[in-house]
Chains A and B, each alone.
Chain A
Amino acid sequence: MEGIKDWEELSWEDKREERFKKWLEAPGVKFNSPEAEKAYRERVTRFIKAIKLEKPDRVPMMIPVQFLPSIYAGYNLGTVMHDYVKLKEAWLKFLNDFEADSFLPPSLALPAKVLEMIDFKLLKWPGYSLPDDAPSYQFVEGEYMPPEEYDALIDDPADYLQRYFLPRAAGVFKPFSKLARLTPFVAIPVGYVGQFADPEIQKAYQTLFEASQECMKWAMALGEISQIGLVSGYPNIWGGMSQAPFDMVGDFLRGTRGIMMDIFQRPDKLQAAMARLTPIAISEAVNSANASGCPIIFIPLHKGTGGFMSNKQFEEFYWPTFKEVMMGLIDEGLVPLPFAEGNYEPRLEIIKDLPRSSTLWWFEHMDMAKAKKILGHTCIAGNVPVTMMVTGKPAEVKERCRQLIETCSPGGGYILTAGAWMDVGNHENLRAMMAAAKEYGKY
């Protein structure tokens, strides 16, 4: 991390202390009021203590909301993806109306115009390829990388992404498949200029220029929303994102069918590809955390969940490189926040093999008492069912929160939240969750 003497020499705990300090101090942030500043420090301290398995003043609450603010403000996701003024209005209204310990800026409410301009094929989104009122986008999995291209990926990932993957993932990049590989001979400029003479490549860049201008508008709106959240005293708890290498290959490149075949038909190639992506996943997360100032790295997990593979396969294919990514983050003083979508109960005995207090596990379907027992040396978060958050009554939610706090909070190391995000449904349930944290979560 910049500005810290002998960074490489520090232990991971010391590095993390430095990062926590920066998160807590929020250098350069001009808070709205002394109260906002005080509240910010209290909230961050609450999370830090929970992560370190110390007792905070009370159980912190991570508000389980992704796109709900659009609906709460009377719009929908499709609308705010098109209109950044409404995007900002919606998120600020939500920020203003709900008390919570954290605030999630709409970084996944992607700019629809940009997606359209670049003819993006990995997502479907409301108002374009989903109904106008769809509450979330839809990821479109596919076999974007045929099996014979493993070697090209392993050999030169950035080249592969640029010339093979992106041309399939978005129409605008199609001509990139004609680009020459960027060799170190680039010192001879003529060779580099030559390829830009292709009219299709020129057009691709023109489109990208226009799309990037549009993207800039969105990024500025997003930046303003994040900044307002911060100066109002609400910490960002996503300093960056990462993935398990198995999911990088499975979600984006090979698809579920492809990768499951690969487990049997070309396990060595799959392992080699994951090994190649591991340091990349680490460095990307470290860079984004350095930029954001928040040390928590969100890691959504997909194909390792119970039901997708056996424990034996999990131990052979999923866990080793995933653990390496997390250890790489931990060694840099970061806190992995794996979001275990689906059911991770069968994996508990395997995933407990991480340093004490190094990780923050967020569970969806999980026997939290069992998780607390087996993962007692790590902070856990979860897991009011999303069904209850969406359709249940506030009293039910509050009662479930009480039970969770009773089960998971003793000794610290617990963050109250739902099993996933609610995008629609009774927003009063969010207030009930906050009330429970305050009423039952005091240490």
Chain B
Amino acid sequence: MNGLPENWENLSWQEKREERFKRWLNPPDVKFVSPEAEKLYKERVTRLIKAIKIEEPDRVPVFLPTGNFPAFWGGSSFRELMYDYKKGHDIWKKFMVEFGDMDIFSGPAFIPCGPIAEAIPSVTQKLPGLGLPEDAPMNQFVEGEYMMADEYDLLMMDPTDYNMRVMLPRTTPFFEPFKRMPPMRSFFGNYWMMALTDPGVRKVFETLLSLTDEQLKWQMAGMEINNYFRAHGYPALWGGGIMVGAPFDHFADALRGTRGIVMDMYRQPKKLHEAMERYLQWTIESSIKNFPMSASPICMMPLHKGDDTFMSDKQFAEFYWPGLRAVFMAMINEGLVPMPFAEGRYNNRLKQIADTPKSGVVWWFDQTDMKEAKKTIGDICCIAGNVPSSVVMTGTAAQVKEICRKLIEDCGPGGGFILAGGAHVDKGDIIDNLRAMMYAAKEYGVYKK
């Protein structure tokens, strides 16, 4: 059912990865529109695979920081696309034709289904028109102390019960009635019966059931656009679905908040370690192990609190890196390719993060010194980055091209480099600057045979 070969368990990680690469290269679910499109698709994927494996492709591949820029370009907005799925897709299709050659095509990202977001408003996420101005170009995560300092034991004793009856009502007021549910512990199943006699709880489930049609529409639209791009020869970079972060970030971002987690590092480091270890196991068991075959084996992993300025190297070594490395290793062992997005700077961390299998991880850097990165981890990891967003947004095409030239000069040799932005760009008159990145790769990034 998950599309994995029968002897999966017995394969080495490299063999598993080859299986996934093969599937990426020859997607059985895609019917190419022309032999030309198929040829281009395979060239593009091969380029990426070689870069990941730190081999020399024909030229440096480019991962354009287009984000949700096409929405702006097409005269629409994040908000409109939350409701009008078709319009969004028409715009993206138009953008694809208009822009021309790209190595990777990024579809609409993180644009949730509007009717569902409205019906189930989340305290932890503001959206355009739902807590943010209507014209806001992206969503805003709202950090907070959602889990209290003394609740680690409660979480670890019975995590699903905690999530359901404590966490959900706090982060999503729609689930407020769950507070009144009895603990999910009855062996007799009368738990559910009694829980559902509460009109509030019942309403929650009725609403959830009533939203599934909209959810399906949204999901189908997403799948359709993905297939459309691939059929036209543009590979997707993200494999679909899996998005796991560093265990530390999970507790820092989603549960304890920055202030809370920093206190915990001093006041209850043991509890934090214990909880991160448990979370790591849950993640591996439920999200990573036997991950099905998907459109690509690459897993996007946004990283937050491990940045140079958030903690010391010593704290990084104690709290952040072991859990993150374990997640990497679990993914690698499934033949997946973790692609951490190191927001902020990772200059001080480069030595520590070198401790992974050769070519196992692709690091995407935001503001890290790429020359240093190439020097320190270039033999071990493919690196991607890092034309500053500020330059993409406000600079000239010539400036962008020059930065790309320099990056290719520093990071291109020997392969293992993907030219990318430091972060995605959502608006502005930037189409020429994006094109400049492509030109630079073609002009400076060709590997000599």
Tell me how far the C-beta of A109 lies from the nearest C-beta in chain B, rounded to whole angstroms: 13
A421 within 8 A of B: no
Q: How far is the CB of A227 from chain B (nearest CB, A)?
A: 17
* Bound Cα distance A156, B157 (Å): 7
**B59-67, B210-218, B225-233, B386-394: which lies at the A interface?**
B210-218
| Contact across chains for A190 and B193 when beta carbons are under 8 A apart | no
B187 touches A287 (CB 8 A): no
In Å, the complex CA distance between A280 and B156 comes to 12
A380 within 8 A of B: no
Our pick among B116, B124, B182, B183 for the contact of A193 (Cβ within 8 Å) is B116
With A165-B187, A169-B189, A182-B160 known as contacts, the answer to whether A216 contacts B255 (CB < 8 A) is no
- B interface secondary structure, majority: helix
Does B159 lie within 8 Å of A158, measured CB to CB? yes
Of B123, B157, B171, which is in contact with the most chain A CB atoms at under 10 Å from its CB? Answer: B157
CB-CB under 8 A from A159, the residues of chain B are 159-160
Binds A, one of B194-202, B302-310, B368-376: B194-202
For B186, what are the chain A residues with a Cβ–Cβ distance below 8 Å? 161, 284
A216 CB contacts on chain B under 8 angstroms: 197
A187 touching B161, Cβ below 8 Å: no
> What per-residue 1/0 map shows which CB atoms of A84-116 lie under 8 Å from chain B?
000000000000000000000000001000100
> Quick check: is B286 within 8 A (CB to CB) of the other chain?
yes
Contact A189 B163 (CB under 8 A): no
Answer whether residue A208 sits at the interface, using C-beta atoms and an 8 A cutoff: yes
Asked whether B250 lies within 8 Å of A189 as measured between CB atoms, the reply is: no
Q: Annotate A145-188 by CB proximity to B: 1 below 8 A, 0 otherwise.
A: 00000000001111101100110011001000000111111111
In the assembled complex, A4 has its CB within 8 A of some CB on chain B = no
> How many residues of chain B get a CB closer than 8 Å to chain A's CBs?
58
A166 to B78: give the CA distance in the assembly, Å: 42
Q: Does A283 contact B (CB under 8 A)?
A: yes
What CA separation (Å) do A170 and B239 show in the bound complex? 37
B193 touches A193 (CB 8 A): no
> Which of B112, B190, B213 is within 8 Å of A188, CB to CB?
B112
Q: Is the CB of B254 within 8 A of A187?
A: yes
Question: In the complex, A186→B219 CA distance in Å?
Answer: 17
Looking at A166, A184, A248, A279, the one whose CB has the most chain B CB atoms below 10 A away is A184
| Alpha-carbon gap, A248 to B205, bound state (A) | 29
**A184-B158 contact given A158-B184, A170-B189, CB 8 Å threshold:** no
A276 at the interface (CB under 8 A from B): yes
Minimal beta-carbon separation of A335 from chain B (angstroms): 21
CB-CB under 8 A from A314, the residues of chain B are none
Contact (Cβ within 8 A) A187 B172: yes
Q: A281's closest neighbor in chain B, by CB?
A: B185
B278 to chain A minimum Cβ distance, whole angstroms, is: 7
Asked if B188 is an interface residue, CB under 8 A from chain A, the answer is yes
Given contacts A155-B278, A196-B212, contact A252 B187 (CB under 8 A): yes
Cα A279 to Cα B157 with chains together (Å): 8
A208 touches B193 (CB 8 A): yes
Which residues 4-29 of B have a CB within 8 angstroms of A? Answer: none
Q: What is the CA–CA distance of A188 and B171 in the complex, to the nearest angstrom?
A: 10
With a CB–CB cut-off of 8 A, which chain A residues contact B439? Answer: none
Bound: A156/B122 CA distance, A: 25
Residues of A within 8 Å of B285, CB to CB, are 155
Contacts A158-B183, A186-B172, A252-B187 known; A192 to B208 CB distance under 8 Å?
yes
19 contacts between A and B (CB under 8 A): A122-B187, A156-B159, A159-B159, A161-B186, A173-B189, A173-B192, A181-B282, A186-B171, A187-B172, A190-B116, A193-B215, A196-B215, A197-B215, A197-B216, A205-B205, A215-B194, A248-B187, A284-B183, A284-B186
**B binding-site residues for A, Cβ under 8 Å:** 112-113, 116-117, 119-120, 122-125, 157-161, 163-164, 167-168, 171-172, 174, 182-190, 192-197, 202, 205-206, 208-209, 211-213, 215-216, 218-219, 250, 254-255, 278, 281-282, 285-287
Q: A186-B172, A187-B125, A209-B202 are in contact. List 16 more A-B contacts (CB 8 A).
A: A158-B183, A161-B187, A166-B189, A183-B287, A184-B250, A186-B168, A187-B171, A189-B116, A189-B174, A192-B120, A193-B212, A196-B215, A212-B195, A212-B197, A216-B197, A283-B183
